């Protein structure tokens, strides 16, 4: 999903959990942190831009970080869970250690829905050449598209509309916090969501609604290393060719 979804789907669950355990709303700084961690895996965008030195690299079908980068392999972040469990057992500020866990794994969950490829939940980062099957739920319209081609189709789905409603709800929640005497720093959180909504409503260039030159499914389904791995395992790759 896109940046607004990742931010709001980290923010809202964290606030719900915090309220259930502490009967109050979290610090504004905690809210900013959980938003940051919710978006953190997508920071590999900047690495890709620098590496490719191309204005179009993340707009084209070429940008496929879910396959290439450990930032989008769920097991990469498993140590965060261990640290959180230890903090929870010893009651050492577990609410703070929950932030990175909830942030990055909410990102992983929602990147497994209506995505261009999904996520390899079984990919082991420290085993070279090992791959996992991609999980990509409810993705009939978006599966196999990447970059701006994916974005153009994602914005036609119900999931885009839901994230807009969720972001507006998050803003309303921040306003309520302020009215009830919460920190004015929540105005910064409101600004973050408002900016995301503003840029999120920008319509993609009409050319991205057309079929890409590379054709749909020009991704892991045609990646030689990925194909070879499953062929050696005696398994076929699920997905259209």
Inside any domain, residue 29: yes
Non-local CB neighbours of 200 within 8 Å, separated by 6+ positions: 2, 3, 4, 163, 164, 167
Mean pLDDT computed over every residue of the chain = 91
Number of domains composing the chain: 1
Choose among 26, 3, 17, 9: nearest CA to 166: 9
SS3 112: coil
Inside any domain, residue 165: yes
Inside any domain, residue 83: yes
Q: Is the pLDDT of residue 225 over 70?
A: yes
Q: Which domain holds residue 215?
A: 3-232
Pair 39, 3: CB distance under 8 Å: yes
Inside any domain, residue 241: no
Distance CA 152, CA 205 (A): 8
In tens, the pLDDT along 176-194 reads 999 998 889 999 999 999 9
Burial 186-196 (b: 16+ CB within 10 A, else e): beebbebbeeb
Residue percentage of the chain with pLDDT more than 90: 72
| Tokens 């915090």 sit on residue | 18
Please count the residues of the chain. 241
Inside any domain, residue 239: no
Pair 114, 1: CB distance under 8 Å: yes
pTM attached to this predicted model: 0.91
H helix runs in the chain, sequence order:
3-22, 28-39, 44-52, 65-68, 78-89, 94-110, 147-154, 158-179, 186-200, 224-232
177 φψ region: left (φ > 0), alpha (ψ -120 to 50), beta (else):
alpha
Inside any domain, residue 240: no
In tens, the pLDDT along 64-95 reads 889 889 999 999 999 999 999 999 999 999 99
Choose among 202, 233, 239: nearest CA to 220: 239
Inside any domain, residue 238: no
Q: Is the pLDDT of residue 241 over 50?
A: no
């Amino acid at each position: 999903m896109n940046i607004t979804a990742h931010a709001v789907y980290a923010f809202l669950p964290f606030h719900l959990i915090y309220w259930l355990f502490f009967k109050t709303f979290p610090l504004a700084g905690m809210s900013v942190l959980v938003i940051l961690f919710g978006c953190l895996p997508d920071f590999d965008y900047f690495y890709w831009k620098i590496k490719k030195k191309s204005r179009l690299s993340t707009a084209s079908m070429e940008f496929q970080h879910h396959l290439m980068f450990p930032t989008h392999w769920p097991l990469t972040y498993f140590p965060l869970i261990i640290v959180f469990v230890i903090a929870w057992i010893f009651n050492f500020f577990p609410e703070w250690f929950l932030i990175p866990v909830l942030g990055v794994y909410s990102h992983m969950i929602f990147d497994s829905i209506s995505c261009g490829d999904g996520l390899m939940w079984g990919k082991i980062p420290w085993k070279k050449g090992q791959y996992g099957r991609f999980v990509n739920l409810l993705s009939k319209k978006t599966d196999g598209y990447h970059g701006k081609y994916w974005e153009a189709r994602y914005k036609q789905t119900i999931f885009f509309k839901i994230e807009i409603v969720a972001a507006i709800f998050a803003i309303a929640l921040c306003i309520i916090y302020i009215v009830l005497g919460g920190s004015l720093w929540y105005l910064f959180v409101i600004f973050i969501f408002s900016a995301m909504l503003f840029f999120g409503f920008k319509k993609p260039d009409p050319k991205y609604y057309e079929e890409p030159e590379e054709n749909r499914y020009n991704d892991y389904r045609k990646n030689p290393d990925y194909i070879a791995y499953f062929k050696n395992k005696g398994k076929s790759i699920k997905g259209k060719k």
